[in-house]
Structure 1
């Protein structure tokens, strides 16, 4: 079954969107997955984990703190007829199951203002799946600092995020941990319901130029030297 046709399942799970597909496309172009041990952090519906399995990964583990996401990933992997070990737990628990050859992650990275209305963006998925805190980096910062410890020698991290969560900070943090980090994919997309719901706050906080309704998504690849 193609990943594009996988049903999301539970309503409490982040729905695959542009960032999910961009991350999968980067994995496809990288040739880094086949025959290797992969972990998908913050897996949500499991769409990236399933794609890794379909790309020939030797072993795939998927982690999420949401019981709904765990159930959805298990159901979607069964429907796609691929083997994915699904673990209920935080992304930070990956070190207990590693090291891995490839770490992939679509983390919560959206900067969220104090007046964001969850009701306006509920169709995107639960707030915890995209809320990256006031600067978008509540998960990105600790993830970038600890990524190298999750990886085997010669392993690679593939991470997707928005420009509004400071791409250069992620690159700098990964490089400081001794990894070779660079942007390997990017895409401009129209604002979805999350950013539309907080456009005023983004402008008032200096993150968004007036009249702009697009954001840049990037995939960062960081290789452990």
Structure 2
């Protein structure tokens, strides 16, 4: 993955980004394929899709991320549409062939979603599903028939629940990849709370990441 500009407060590509990039690389894209990325950050995945000829829209709720993604698109001379705001509002009335999502998914002691600062990129309520559940509910309205959702999140959030929610929406869903990565500083700082919630056990130091692939049939 090429080096990208990441302004202060913008989520830098990490293990989950790389995992989703690998899943994206396995999807067939052609000129004119319509793609939306939810929570684009630096624009890494949106740029990868655009480089393959896809018609890409990228959305992020944080202005620094929007600016970083626009700068990175300009530097690589790739055309894509990068929008600021909530993904549901900015995509209303449109459908896509592929939805990419690396949403906030870290369980947080604060049930409220942060409205500013770095934590917007990872905090997602007490079960880590505040944004995941919205994406699952919105997926059919975002996709053309036969379209695909690629979603990455932590195993702490419950991959089976994600599959069940998508299945209830009429989608064919499966976990296509699982990897284990070392805990980062955020999880380490919440070890005691995560153990109290039953989300981690004493001695845990690795986090499972999963790729969920769902097709709207």
Same-fold call, TM cutoff 0.5: yes
Aligned to 2:25: 28
Aligned to 1:141: 133
Judging changes above 3 Å, is the alpha-carbon distance between structure 1 residues 143 and 91 closer, same or farther for their aligned structure 2 residues? Answer: same
Separation (CA, whole Å) in 2 of partners of 1:38 and 1:104: 8
User: Per-residue deviation at 1:44?
Assistant: 1.0
User: Per-residue deviation at 1:30?
Assistant: 2.5
Unaligned segments of structure 1, at least 5 residues: 119-124
Aligned to 1:176: 168
1:102 corresponds, among 98, 104, 109, to 98
Separation (CA, whole Å) in 1 of partners of 2:82 and 2:5: 17
The answer on whether the counterparts of 2:50 and 2:78 sit within 8 Å (CA) in structure 1 is yes
Separation (CA, whole Å) in 2 of partners of 1:206 and 1:71: 38
With structure 2 as the length reference, what TM-score do the two structures score?
A: 0.93
Judging changes above 3 Å, is the alpha-carbon distance between structure 1 residues 94 and 34 closer, same or farther for their aligned structure 2 residues? Answer: farther
Separation (CA, whole Å) in 2 of partners of 1:69 and 1:97: 24
Aligned to 1:189: 181
Root-mean-square deviation over aligned CA pairs: 1.6
Indicate whether 1:159 and 2:155 are aligned. Answer: no
Separation (CA, whole Å) in 1 of partners of 2:90 and 2:164: 22
1:75 corresponds, among 48, 53, 71, to 71
Aligned to 2:199: 207
Separation (CA, whole Å) in 1 of partners of 2:152 and 2:90: 18
Separation (CA, whole Å) in 1 of partners of 2:190 and 2:124: 14
The answer on whether the counterparts of 1:113 and 1:201 sit within 8 Å (CA) in structure 2 is yes
Query: How many residue pairs end up in the alignment?
Result: 212
Separation (CA, whole Å) in 1 of partners of 2:209 and 2:39: 17
Aligned to 2:40: 43
The answer on whether the counterparts of 1:42 and 1:107 sit within 8 Å (CA) in structure 2 is yes
User: Per-residue deviation at 1:38?
Assistant: 0.2
Judging changes above 3 Å, is the alpha-carbon distance between structure 1 residues 44 and 97 closer, same or farther for their aligned structure 2 residues? Answer: farther
The answer on whether the counterparts of 1:12 and 1:68 sit within 8 Å (CA) in structure 2 is yes
User: Per-residue deviation at 1:96?
Assistant: 2.1
Aligned to 1:121: none
Aligned to 1:122: none
Residues 24-70 of structure 1 show CA distances to partners (whole Å, capped at 9, x for unaligned) of 10010222x3331000011111111111112331x100001111111
SS in 2 for 1:75: helix
SS in 2 for 1:87: strand
